[in-house]
Structure 1
């Protein structure tokens, strides 16, 4: 249970950092930021393990945070493309 809570906090931090890095205005509040960050952390962890053979099992280690932010950036770009495409209808 504690690991799950730490993962949610990591997702919120990664999502917030990704929103700060990415230029422009992204919609959504803290809940959307946390969901995007958690999905990004999962994606970043997969990329770290599959491509770079980096262990990201420790939640708040530097590689975990860096790859979570990288994954959150990717997810945020996809989220922005999907929501903009839907609003042009």
Structure 2
């Protein structure tokens, strides 16, 4: 998440985690939404930059990438939970 700062990471992380939680029909708390959103942002950023060669900057681009990454993270965690 380029150009948004640490407060931006937190705000975008919470928002992305919240949206991913609703899309995946899960029920988490604020801290979990933050963690899912920030980890999702890292995952989404890695995929966007390294695999798709896309560069998203600013609040909106960061939010989109973080939300997609958070949804993917929750999906993968759901798959692992079913196996275990």
* TM-score interval, smaller chain: 0.7 to 0.9
Q: Secondary structure at the match of 1:56?
A: coil
Task: Output the CA distance in 2 between the equivalents of 1:27 and 1:19.
Answer: 6
Unpaired runs of 5+ residues, structure 1, are none
Q: Give the Cα separation in 2 of the matches to 1:35 and 1:67.
A: 15
Distance (Å, rounded) in 1 between the aligned partners of 2:30 and 2:80: 19
Q: Is the 8 A contact 2:40 2:72 kept in 1?
A: yes
Q: Which structure 2 residues correspond to residues 51-66 of structure 1 after superposition, within 5 A?
A: 51-58=51-58, 60-61=59-60, 63-66=61-64
Aligned CA distance change for structure 1 residues 40 and 13 (closer, same or farther; 3 Å): same
TM-score for the superposition, normalised by structure 2:
0.78
Assess if the C-alpha contact under 8 Å between 2:21 and 2:27 holds in 1.
no
Partner of 1:33: 33
Runs of 4+, deviation exceeding 4 Å: 81-86
Greater fraction of residues in helix? 2
* CA radius of gyration, larger in: 1
> How many residue pairs are counted as aligned between the two chains?
81
Secondary structure at 2:56's aligned position in 1? coil
| Cα drift, residue 81 of structure 1 | 4.2
Aligned Cα RMSD in Å?
2.1
How far did residue 80 of structure 1 move?
3.4
